[in-house]
Structure 1
Amino acid sequence: MKRVWCLYRVSKKQQVSADEDIPMQKNACHEFVNGKPDWTITNELYEKGVSGWKKSVNERDEMAALKEGALKKKFDVLLVFMFDRLGRREDETPVMVNFLIQHGIEVWSVKEGQRKIESHVDKLLNYISFWQSDGESQKTSIRVKEAKKQLSEQGYFQGGTAPLGYKIVETEERHWKNKDRRVKELVPDEMESEIIKLIYHLYVNKHMGYRKIADHLNEQGYRNRDGKIFAVSTIQRILSNPIYIGFKRYKTAAGGTQPFNEKLQILPEELFYQAERIRKIRRGNMKEQDKSDIPRSGKLLLSGLAYCKYCGSKLTSNYLYKSSKDKRHKTAIYRYRCPLNKGKTYCRHRQNIWGGKKYDTLIINKLKSILSQFELQPYLEAGKHLKAERVKLKEQNIKHLKKEYVDLKKQQEKLNLEIGKALIGESAFTPEQLSLALETIEKQMEEKSALIHSLTEELQKERETCSDVNFLANELKHWAQKFEVADGDHKKALLSKLINKVYLGKNEIEIELNIGLSDYFEGNIN
């Protein structure tokens, strides 16, 4: 009785239960063996999602198992559905076939019969056969890549995760390869598009950096698609992605962008290119800056808050000594200085040093002037409106997450039913495959549940802190009085509550107030 080992392989995991897949190969091999009275199947090897062209023989575990089995005389016949299941590389697969035959193993295919190496012609035919398979794989790869490229350029989605600001929808058009599926495309998502617009507004018009934008979004209750807080890296990717003006990137090593697609455009081109210019300037500034002498704290009241109006760099603390007339005493004169213009003359820098005492006084007086226009009732109304918007946003996020959780629950129930079928042999999947899928679903459910719980707690706190607006209003009302009696460190703390950044230029000051104040005092801070 000849001992038969069967090898089944598919190049994509999706083929495990599709036409021309592993179950079909298995049935054909069993039927073939039934026609050989002196054959019996003693082992079956499975390769799921393994490309016979992309992966070499040495990278495939089942090929190693075949070699070991042949050396130890564990089987007499290797049976495959077709010889391309062994592999599609013309420089490797014939060598594998020769190895098996030389060790006494018969190599058979259900569709193509037995492979032999008894003559030079047999060896040549083997090589030609696998050379053809290799060529077909390369042609298929080229056709698939070109088809995907053309569909992607037309706006159709080719897999992966949609960038923030977009969603994936099915079209009426049938899929080019699988007629049971419909072609998908990217379209702007109404809610997420507003977040994208806000991010670019904060970056270009409010002079915020990546971290400040992320902090602002998180503080205002915004969350990304999976309910998590925004990370700095996410903001960085968004501000450099040309898809928001209709130019989708190619997912290839060569890079580049696809032709303009009007349906994908979310932002005005001018806003995107303004952000690009700012990014390039800031990258250049970061490379040029010598940060070794920038103090963590300083004698100046606005240390860490003052920036150069001409290049956007954070100003450093600088000082010089001034001697008394009798030259017995020296007094330190503190100044703000732009680190990118140390004694050099740049056309964009009309000034690079600002007297600390003079400009601290000017800024404090301007703040007092701004706060003198403060009216309690309008501010309270604006604050309550902002609170209501935050509550609404968190409620929408929780509702979205709960819907996703329900969908996962349904998938869990279906998988449990399918496991029951697998145990009695009525499923195309093995219990192991289904258990792995179920484990993934349950992990996602746990994550969604934790996010829902976290956001629910945040929502409860948001509803309970309406008094915060009244408290801040009272703080603003009495800010000037507190500032007058505060010591140096306390004064810095009071300033940081009001000011996000101060931009200094030649005979000009621009104050950027913290979020929550800037909109209320719009038009009163320059």
Structure 2
Amino acid sequence: MKRVWCLYRVSKKQQVSADEDIPMQKNACYEFVKNKPDWTITNELYEKGVSGWKKSLNERDEMAILKEGALNKEFDVLLVFMFDRLGRREDETPVMVNFLIQNGIEVWSVKEGQRKIESHVDKLLNYISFWQSDGESQKTSIRVKEAKKQLSEQGYFQGGTAPLGYKIIETNQQHWKYKDRRIKELVPDEVESQMIKLIYHLYVNKLMGYRKITDYLNAHGFRTRDGKEFVISTIKRILENPIYIGRKRYKTATGGTQPFNNKLQIISEELYYQAEQIRNTRRSCIKKQDKTGIPRSGKLLFSGLAYCKYCSSKLTTNYLYRTSKRKNGTYKNVIYRYRCPLNKGSLHCNHEQNIWGGKKYDTLILNKIKVILSHFELQSFLDSSKNMKSELLRIKERNIQNLKKELSDLEKQHNRLKLEIGKALLGESTFTPEQLSDVITELEKQIEEKSAQIQTLNKELVKERENYSDVNYLANKLENWEQKFNEADEHLKKAMLSRVINKVYLGKNEIEIELNIWLSDYFEGRFD
């Protein structure tokens, strides 16, 4: 009785359960053996998701088993559905067939019969057969890659998870390979795309870093698609992904993006490239900076509010004495200055300027603010703020609901673990009371933090619902602002400035003023 080993192989894992693949190969081999009375199947080898062209014989575990079995005389016949199941490499597979035959193993295919090496012609036919298989594999690979490349360039979805901000929908077009399927494509998700816009707004317009954006989103109840809190790496990937300007990446030997697809665009190209410029500058120049609150002391009006335009560092303030001679003697004058902390004695990191005269720039900034606020109209400001308020209320309400759901899940876990404590004390649990106590303590800490977040957001919600009192307050303060400012003392002037602006960026003969969120929306586009 001849002992038969069968080898079944598919090159893709998706083929493992398909009717035309491994089950079909197995059934065909069993039917073939039925017609061989002196044959019996004693072993079956499976290669699931293994390419016979991409992987060499040395990388395939089942080939090693076959070699060892042949050397130990553990079988007499190797049976495959077709010889390309052994492999498709013209330089390796004929050698494997020769090895098996030389060790007394008959090599058979259900569809192609027996392979022999009794003559030079047999060896040549073996080589030609596997040379053809190798060529077919290369042609198939080229066709598949070209088809996927063309579909990718046309914007069709090629598998994987949709990036944050998008969802996958099924089109009416038939799949190029699987006729029972439809081609899928990415489209912006209505809710998540708003989150993407917010992230870019915070990064570019509010100049927040990755960590600050992460903290802001988590504190305000925003969550990822799977309900988890944001992490810094997620924000970084979002800010570096060109898909948000309609240029999806696809994998090639050299990398690349698809042609522009306006259906995918969520943000403007200008905003994306502004983010890229900020990212490159920070990568090369930013060091650890002072993150404390805005100081109210100091001789300069904008100390704590002034930042470097080139690296976004908070400017420090210092002074020097300049001596001048007069008729009545020597006079010492104090000169106050703004200075970028990343430039100590020399200009680098693309800084065109690193020191600004305090008196000169305080006057220039103040005059610019006065010009801006001279266009302020109370009623127009209140009307524009109303729409923004409504949107913020809606976002906060949704985020509070998300946090409440997370809190409810934590409380359920907490209750289950408290019940498990009783079982542990009776010796009926797989956990010790100490282990459960540690987990419960951590859960209680998370519950406390989550409750505090909800409480904070609820307070903000109540505040914003109180007839827009904070907007009305700011509006009243802005009426006749210049007159009130001129009459104020130094400390009150700084307080008034901090209500109006978030930051001031100084460059070479250049000033950029970042107004607070209400005013920036109100004045947007008026001074371009």
Same fold (TM > 0.5): yes
Q: Note if contact 2:186-2:264 (Cα within 8 Å) is conserved in structure 1.
A: yes
Give how far 1:200 is off: 3.0
Q: Helix, strand or coil for the counterpart of 2:150? A: helix
Give how far 1:148 is off: 1.5
Which of 272, 276, 286 is the equivalent residue of 1:275? 272
Aligned twin of 1:64 = 64
Q: Note if contact 2:318-2:339 (Cα within 8 Å) is conserved in structure 1.
A: no
Q: Note if contact 2:290-2:314 (Cα within 8 Å) is conserved in structure 1.
A: no
Amino acid at match of 2:243: I
**Offset from partner CA, 1:423-446 (integer Å, 9 cap, x none):** xxxxxxxxxxxxxxxxxxxxxxxx
Amino acid at match of 1:115: R
Looking at structure 2, the residues matched to 295 and 217 of structure 1 have their Cα atoms a distance apart, in angstroms, of 22
Give how far 1:196 is off: 2.4
Looking at structure 2, the residues matched to 17 and 31 of structure 1 have their Cα atoms a distance apart, in angstroms, of 19
**Pair 1:244-2:244 in alignment:** yes
Aligned twin of 2:220 = 220
Aligned twin of 2:40 = 40
Q: Helix, strand or coil for the counterpart of 2:263? A: helix
Give how far 1:202 is off: 3.1
Aligned twin of 2:398 = 392
Alignment of 1:328-407 (within 5 A): 335-338=337-340, 339=342, 349=352, 352-354=354-356, 386-393=392-399, 395=401
**Offset from partner CA, 1:334-385 (integer Å, 9 cap, x none):** 7431346955599995x63246799899999x99xx9xx99xx999998797
Alignment of 1:88-487 (within 5 A): 88-267=88-267, 271-277=268-274, 279-280=276-277, 282-284=279-281, 286-287=283-284, 289=285, 291=287, 306-309=306-309, 311-317=310-316, 319=318, 322=321, 335-338=337-340, 339=342, 349=352, 352-354=354-356, 386-393=392-399, 395=401, 461=455, 464-465=458-459, 469=463
Q: Structure 1 residues 138 and 313, CA, compared in 2 at 3 Å: closer, same or farther?
A: same
Q: Helix, strand or coil for the counterpart of 1:186? A: strand
Q: Structure 1 residues 394 and 318, CA, compared in 2 at 3 Å: closer, same or farther?
A: closer
Looking at structure 1, the residues matched to 21 and 449 of structure 2 have their Cα atoms a distance apart, in angstroms, of 44
Give how far 1:312 is off: 4.5
Looking at structure 2, the residues matched to 5 and 23 of structure 1 have their Cα atoms a distance apart, in angstroms, of 16
Give how far 1:94 is off: 1.1
Question: Higher mean Cα deviation, 64-73 or 460-469?
Answer: 460-469
Q: Structure 1 residues 172 and 12, CA, compared in 2 at 3 Å: closer, same or farther?
A: same
Q: Structure 1 residues 110 and 286, CA, compared in 2 at 3 Å: closer, same or farther?
A: closer
Give how far 1:320 is off: 5.7
Looking at structure 1, the residues matched to 151 and 73 of structure 2 have their Cα atoms a distance apart, in angstroms, of 51
Looking at structure 2, the residues matched to 96 and 500 of structure 1 have their Cα atoms a distance apart, in angstroms, of 74
Give how far 1:65 is off: 1.1
Q: Structure 1 residues 459 and 209, CA, compared in 2 at 3 Å: closer, same or farther?
A: closer
Q: Note if contact 2:319-2:335 (Cα within 8 Å) is conserved in structure 1.
A: yes
Question: Higher mean Cα deviation, 181-190 or 338-347?
Answer: 338-347
RMSD, aligned α-carbons = 5.1
Q: Note if contact 2:200-2:275 (Cα within 8 Å) is conserved in structure 1.
A: no
Q: Structure 1 residues 127 and 352, CA, compared in 2 at 3 Å: closer, same or farther?
A: same
Give how far 1:392 is off: 1.8
Give how far 1:62 is off: 0.9
Q: Note if contact 1:295-1:316 (Cα within 8 Å) is conserved in structure 2.
A: no
TM-score norm. by structure 1 comes to 0.69
Aligned twin of 1:73 = 73
Q: Helix, strand or coil for the counterpart of 1:264? A: coil
Give how far 1:295 is off: 7.2
Q: Helix, strand or coil for the counterpart of 1:239? A: helix
Amino acid at match of 1:219: A
Amino acid at match of 1:503: Y
Q: Note if contact 1:384-1:469 (Cα within 8 Å) is conserved in structure 2.
A: no
Give how far 1:19 is off: 3.0
Give how far 1:229 is off: 2.8
Q: Note if contact 1:246-1:264 (Cα within 8 Å) is conserved in structure 2.
A: yes
Q: Structure 1 residues 291 and 234, CA, compared in 2 at 3 Å: closer, same or farther?
A: closer
Identity %: 67
Amino acid at match of 2:155: G
Q: Note if contact 2:396-2:461 (Cα within 8 Å) is conserved in structure 1.
A: no
Q: Helix, strand or coil for the counterpart of 1:88? A: coil
Q: Helix, strand or coil for the counterpart of 2:78? A: strand
Give how far 1:498 is off: 9.8
Q: Structure 1 residues 218 and 523, CA, compared in 2 at 3 Å: closer, same or farther?
A: farther
Looking at structure 2, the residues matched to 166 and 226 of structure 1 have their Cα atoms a distance apart, in angstroms, of 14
Q: Helix, strand or coil for the counterpart of 1:160? A: coil
Looking at structure 1, the residues matched to 212 and 177 of structure 2 have their Cα atoms a distance apart, in angstroms, of 46
Aligned twin of 1:423 = none
Give how far 1:313 is off: 3.0
Question: Higher mean Cα deviation, 199-208 or 331-340?
Answer: 331-340
Q: Note if contact 1:240-1:276 (Cα within 8 Å) is conserved in structure 2.
A: no
Looking at structure 2, the residues matched to 506 and 282 of structure 1 have their Cα atoms a distance apart, in angstroms, of 21
Q: Helix, strand or coil for the counterpart of 2:111? A: coil
Tell which structure's C-alpha radius of gyration is larger.
2
Amino acid at match of 1:353: I
Q: Note if contact 2:504-2:514 (Cα within 8 Å) is conserved in structure 1.
A: yes
User: Structure 1 stretches of 5 or more lacking a match?
Assistant: 403-452, 486-490
**Offset from partner CA, 1:452-504 (integer Å, 9 cap, x none):** x999968854665458849997xx99xxx9x979xxxxx99xx9999754424
Looking at structure 1, the residues matched to 84 and 448 of structure 2 have their Cα atoms a distance apart, in angstroms, of 52
Aligned twin of 2:13 = 13
Q: Note if contact 1:243-1:265 (Cα within 8 Å) is conserved in structure 2.
A: yes
Report how many aligned residue pairs link the two structures.
Answer: 456
**Offset from partner CA, 1:181-206 (integer Å, 9 cap, x none):** 11111222222222223333333433
Q: Structure 1 residues 34 and 131, CA, compared in 2 at 3 Å: closer, same or farther?
A: same
Give how far 1:133 is off: 0.6
Question: Higher mean Cα deviation, 503-512 or 154-163?
Answer: 503-512
Looking at structure 1, the residues matched to 47 and 134 of structure 2 have their Cα atoms a distance apart, in angstroms, of 18
**Pair 1:27-2:27 in alignment:** yes
User: Structure 2 stretches of 5 or more lacking a match?
Assistant: 409-446, 475-487
Q: Note if contact 1:313-1:340 (Cα within 8 Å) is conserved in structure 2.
A: no
Give how far 1:140 is off: 0.6
